[in-house]
């Protein structure tokens, strides 16, 4: 009797939820294409054409890669943000002259713009009650209109770099077509799968094959398509 009643309760709860893959509900994962694209659009909507008047770069050489905080700050101070670019899970800010700040989000990277809602993972989120900029901030700029932007990383797996041409440097240079910006045609996608002996989920996660798809998107895509993740791609 206890087992039956427990089963009824589980079914009742499941009946009230939207249909989703068994692995999706309640999980925390890395930022993937949607979160990085949401950050890019937030920068595009709020920061373009504005000059950087103040910069704070964290003294954290695990995240700030290949440059000292002081050199990073000097290199971008006074420059204007002209566009926000993305490929896969990588974001970079194009300024009015190079070099450009580049962000690899890692497991918990997130963009915050003070006073602007930006979609991010629960794992990445910094509480509103904490100080601003957050103690987890690795890159902070104040723009000439007073707007403030911060890149935070609570787990220190992100990479923030200053690059002359981010698209020409690893890891961005080795990425496959972006799943949103450079979608394959059906014919090209079918041909690309034809000789693949790997199972389909690891192939979707291969950023050299197609970039931007991570664990939860791959799970959800395969579940909605009714394709088993261990099915051979070909």
List the catalytic residue out of 32, 35, 37, 142: 32
Q: Which DSSP string corresponds to 50-92?
A: -BEEEEEE-S-TTTB-SS-HHHHHHHHTT-BEEEEEEETTEEE
31 as an active site residue: the answer is: yes
171 as an active site residue: the answer is: no
Q: Which among 54, 4, 36, 9 has a CA at the least distance from the CA of 178?
A: 36
89 as an active site residue: the answer is: yes
Q: Which among 124, 155, 157, 122 has a CA at the least distance from the CA of 25?
A: 122
List the catalytic residue out of 79, 87, 89, 201: 89
CA atoms of 39 and 26, how far apart (whole Å) = 22
Q: Edge-to-edge strands of the sheet including 148-153?
A: 52-57, 137-143, 148-153, 109-113
Q: What is the CA radius of gyration of the chain?
A: 21
Task: List residues with catalytic annotation.
Answer: 31-32, 89
């Amino acid at each position: 009797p206890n087992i039956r009643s427990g089963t009824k309760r589980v079914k009742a709860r499941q009946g009230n939820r939207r249909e989703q893959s068994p692995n999706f509900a309640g999980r925390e994962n890395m930022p993937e294409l949607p979160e990085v694209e949401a950050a890019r659009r937030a920068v595009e909507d709020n920061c373009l054409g504005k000059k950087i008047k103040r910069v704070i770069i964290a003294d954290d050489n695990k995240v700030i890669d290949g440059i000292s905080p002081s050199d990073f700050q000097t290199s971008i101070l006074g420059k204007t943000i002209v566009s926000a670019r993305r490929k896969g899970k990588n974001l970079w800010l194009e300024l009015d002259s190079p070099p450009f700040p580049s962000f690899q989000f890692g497991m918990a990277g997130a963009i915050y713009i003070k006073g602007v809602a930006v979609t991010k993972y629960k794992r990445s989120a910094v509480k509103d009650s904490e100080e601003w900029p957050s103690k987890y901030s690795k890159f902070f700029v104040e723009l000439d209109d007073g707007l403030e932007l911060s890149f935070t990383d609570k787990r220190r797996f992100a990479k923030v770099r200053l690059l002359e041409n981010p698209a020409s440097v690893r890891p961005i240079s080795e990425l496959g077509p972006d799943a949103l910006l450079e979608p394959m045609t059906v014919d090209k996608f079918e041909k690309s799968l034809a000789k693949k002996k790997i199972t389909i989920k690891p192939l979707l996660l291969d950023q050299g094959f197609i970039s931007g798809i991570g664990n939860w998107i791959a799970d959800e895509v395969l579940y909605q398509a009714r394709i088993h993740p261990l099915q051979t791609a070909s």
